[in-house]
Amino acid sequence: MNTFRTCLGLLCLSIALRADVLVMKNGDRVTGDIVKKDGNNLTVKTALFGTITLPWDQVDSVKTSTPLNVVLADGKTAQSNLETSNGKVDVGGQAVAPADVKVLRNAAEEKAYERLLHPGFLQLWSGAGTLGLAGTAGNSKTSTFAIGMNAARVTNTDKMTAYFNTVKGSSSVNGVSSDTAQAVRGGLTYSRNITKKIFFNGFNDWEYDRFQNLDLRFVLGGGAGYHVFKHDRAFLDVLAGMAFEHDKFDQCDTATTQNPCNLTAFNSTNLQQYTKNSANFYYGDDYSLKFGPRTSFTQSFRMFNNLSDTHAYRVNFDIGANTQFTKWMTWNLSVSDRFLNEPSPGRKRNDLLYTTGIGITFAH
């Protein structure tokens, strides 16, 4: 028993000698490994309490066991151990005030930071994709096919996102076949920080929806946004701007069919096409939240007010959630809602597209 206690004591002592030690102004003592300092938040990985965040301005003294990457208030950088003496922090032989220590990163954080500085266009992409299939056979035969995909590329200064959703459904009863759903939605978004809080935003959306008689909706826009808050678990952005919209619709000809909005009766003689171009003012928000290490939630809202026809407007609302089972397998949910207050004659104003199922994740 004494031998066991001795070994345990030596093990604890060796761990303590390799750990960073912080003493807070209230007398609390924290032992662990400093991960990073961002603003006033100091992240420390401890053996007993996991990863915790401490206020840097409440740290009375610090002593590290391994070198950290340090950025000082004057922009100078160093790779050095830290040790407090007489109210100053020794950084590579230079005594500085604690407030002048602006950034701290361990080796892993520094590697991740440098990777974000000058990445190639094909680097840093991550996302998830879902493929869904459903069907019945017997008295009725139905089939539904859906794909959902979201991807993002985030660097220190900009962010690019891409999305794609499609669904196609059909049914056959007593030998009569008909389509029940057919829609495709996709787009690209690019944001670049102008200041720490303000960013430029540009986007391009495409949409096809057979059951809204929509052959093509092409939208190109841009504006400015504001980072309301951003931290490791969540962020909220608000944005607004101007957009150009091109819509191409198929419309039933009531003179050639008694049921002008029955798609199964559509043919080249009872369809008319019309297009319209318009300017829009848009505003909205983007929100993301991580519930834990495996589950995340996203939400996006856009309101488009037609400046060419002030009575017309439309709304895009999208939400997504995913839970990671393994390194590459997730459960995904994607909901995409499109509201058009002045749809084609005989069409409903709201169309909802959703996909759910097991998907894969990717990162580069």
List the CATH number of the domain containing 250. 2.40.160.20
Q: Check pLDDT > 60 for residue 125.
A: yes
**Confidence at 8, pLDDT banded by 50, 70, 90:** very low
Q: Are 239 and 224 in contact (CB under 8 A)?
A: yes
Q: Check pLDDT > 70 for residue 262.
A: no
Answer yes or no: do 228 and 265 share one domain.
yes
Answer yes or no: do 97 and 216 share one domain.
no
Can you give the pTM of this predicted structure?
0.70
Query: Within a domain: residue 11?
Result: no
pLDDT value of position 82: 93
**Confidence at 122, pLDDT banded by 50, 70, 90:** confident
- In 3D space, the residue among 346, 147, 145 whose CA is nearest the CA of residue 249 turns out to be 346
Residue-wise pLDDT for 129-147, tens only, equals 888 877 777 776 788 888 8
**Confidence at 272, pLDDT banded by 50, 70, 90:** low
Answer yes or no: do 191 and 315 share one domain.
yes
Residue-wise pLDDT for 279-305, tens only, equals 999 999 999 999 888 899 999 999 999
Query: Within a domain: residue 149?
Result: yes
Domain count across the chain: 2
pLDDT value of position 22: 94
Residue-wise pLDDT for 177-191, tens only, equals 777 778 999 999 999
Between strands 295-306 and 313-324, the pairing is antiparallel
CA distance 88 to 82: 10
pLDDT value of position 254: 47
Query: Within a domain: residue 87?
Result: yes
Q: Check pLDDT > 50 for residue 14.
A: no
Answer yes or no: do 288 and 353 share one domain.
yes
Answer yes or no: do 303 and 234 share one domain.
yes
Query: Within a domain: residue 233?
Result: yes
Residue that is last in its domain, among 117, 142, 163: 117
Average model confidence (pLDDT) for the chain? 85
pLDDT value of position 293: 81
Lowest mean per-residue pLDDT among 28-32, 39-43, 88-92, 114-118: 114-118
Answer yes or no: do 88 and 148 share one domain.
no
CA 317 to chain centre: 15
Answer yes or no: do 49 and 88 share one domain.
yes
Query: Greater confidence, 38 or 21?
Result: 21
Answer yes or no: do 267 and 293 share one domain.
yes
Residue that is last in its domain, among 75, 90, 117: 117
Q: What is the DSSP letter of 239?
A: E
Answer yes or no: do 200 and 286 share one domain.
yes
Q: Are 274 and 295 in contact (CB under 8 A)?
A: no
User: H-type helices in the chain, by residue range?
Assistant: 2-18, 107-117
Query: Within a domain: residue 203?
Result: yes
Task: Provide Rg for the chain, Cα atoms.
Answer: 28
**Which residue range forms the structural domain that includes residue 149?**
125-363
pLDDT value of position 364: 66
Q: SS3 for 45?
A: strand
Q: 108: which residues sit within 8 A by CB, 6+ positions away?
A: 35
**Confidence at 257, pLDDT banded by 50, 70, 90:** very low
**Confidence at 251, pLDDT banded by 50, 70, 90:** low
Residue that is last in its domain, among 57, 90, 117: 117
Q: Check pLDDT > 80 for residue 205.
A: yes
| 71-86 core/surface letters (b: 16 or more CB in 10 A; e: else) | bbeeeeebebbbebee
